[in-house]
A = this chain, B = another copy of it.
Amino acid sequence: MPRVFVPQRVGVGDVLTIAGDDGHHYTRVLRARESEPIAVAAAGVSYLGKVVTSDAKVGEMVVKIESRMDSHEPMLQVTVVQGLAKGDKIEEIVEKCTESGASRFIIFPSVRTVVRLGDAKIESRLLRWNKVAREAAAQSQRDVVPSVAYAKDRSGLRNHLSEAKRVLLLDESETTMGIRQALKEIQDDATCNSIAIVIGPEGGFADEEREWFHDNLGAVSVTLGPRILRTENAGLMALSAALYEYHDLGG
């Protein structure tokens, strides 16, 4: 079933017009037809709807909201804080972690990041990454589209992470504190429903950078075990572990 995201709250019985890019996409690309079912995720809540009219010429579709659906969202909010990596890796990470249940992404240029992006390039990448998140959210039937932001510098990082209560740093040089122990300790704090997981780029963290995360964001270095994980794999495994620990991955 196709899925459309709208920003506003809706209720059962409401009738919505989908125009613009989404209108184009659903009427022309997906060729939605009258009386077909469609899922509508409205301000984080999912509904089952029905296509009332679909006008491919104008690129507009009218949808009636019929019933509320169960939530597909995890209770634990996980922010993936990913060091900028080469090639299409960020796209891959955004796609896979969106499917898997991440709630937002902060991309940052790490000390060992090889790629350097100018402002124009950052803008175009952000558009692309947010589009990938939207498509992955639709495909995996999320109720919300995770946002992707870029933190140009450390004060940006600090602002973006001011609400993350606990920050875990995936650290190849950490041998003692396993992610399991760290997650169990976080879980003892019943008020904590939001964590951030920081992943370095291909070359890992510089010492000074690791210390900055410890000192400024209260980050705790954790290990995922003795096997060396690529940057595009490490975040996904840590996210799986966190959701699993919080009963958000199959009970």
User: Which listed residue, B140, B178, B227, B229, touches A229 by the CB 8 Å rule?
Assistant: B140
A223 cross-chain contacts in B, Cβ below 8 A: 250-251
A245 cross-chain contacts in B, Cβ below 8 A: 244
User: Which listed residue, B72, B222, B251, touches A227 by the CB 8 Å rule?
Assistant: B72
> Which of the 9-residue segments A27-35, A122-130, A235-243 touches chain B?
A235-243
A180 within 8 A of B: yes
A70 cross-chain contacts in B, Cβ below 8 A: 226
Instruction: Using CB atoms, name the residue of chain B closest to A229.
Output: B99
Q: How many of these chains are in the complex?
A: 2
Q: Is the CB of A227 within 8 A of B178?
A: no
A220 within 8 A of B: no
A230 within 8 A of B: yes
Shortest CB-to-CB span from A223 to chain B, Å, is: 5
Q: Is the CB of B244 within 8 A of A240?
A: yes
A224 cross-chain contacts in B, Cβ below 8 A: 249-250
A244 cross-chain contacts in B, Cβ below 8 A: 179-180, 240-241, 244-245
- Quick one: given A236-B236, A240-B240, are A180 and B227 in contact (CB under 8 Å)? no
How many angstroms between the C-alpha atoms of A236 and B96 in the bound complex?
A: 11
Q: Is the CB of A225 within 8 A of B237?
A: no
A228 within 8 A of B: yes
How many angstroms between the C-alpha atoms of A151 and B130 in the bound complex?
A: 40
A250 cross-chain contacts in B, Cβ below 8 A: 178-180, 222-225, 241
A209 within 8 A of B: no
How many angstroms between the C-alpha atoms of A227 and B245 in the bound complex?
A: 17
Q: Is the CB of B141 within 8 A of A227?
A: yes
Instruction: Using CB atoms, name the residue of chain B closest to A69.
Output: B226
A91 within 8 A of B: no
A142 within 8 A of B: yes
Instruction: Using CB atoms, name the residue of chain B closest to A179.
Output: B250
How many angstroms between the C-alpha atoms of A234 and B190 in the bound complex?
A: 29
- Quick one: given A240-B244, A241-B240, A241-B244, are A180 and B228 in contact (CB under 8 Å)? no
A158 within 8 A of B: no
A62-117 at interface with B (beta carbon < 8 Å): 70-72, 74, 96, 99-101
9 other A-B residue contacts (CB within 8 Å) besides A96-B233, A225-B250 = A72-B227, A99-B229, A139-B228, A179-B250, A179-B251, A180-B244, A224-B250, A236-B236, A241-B250
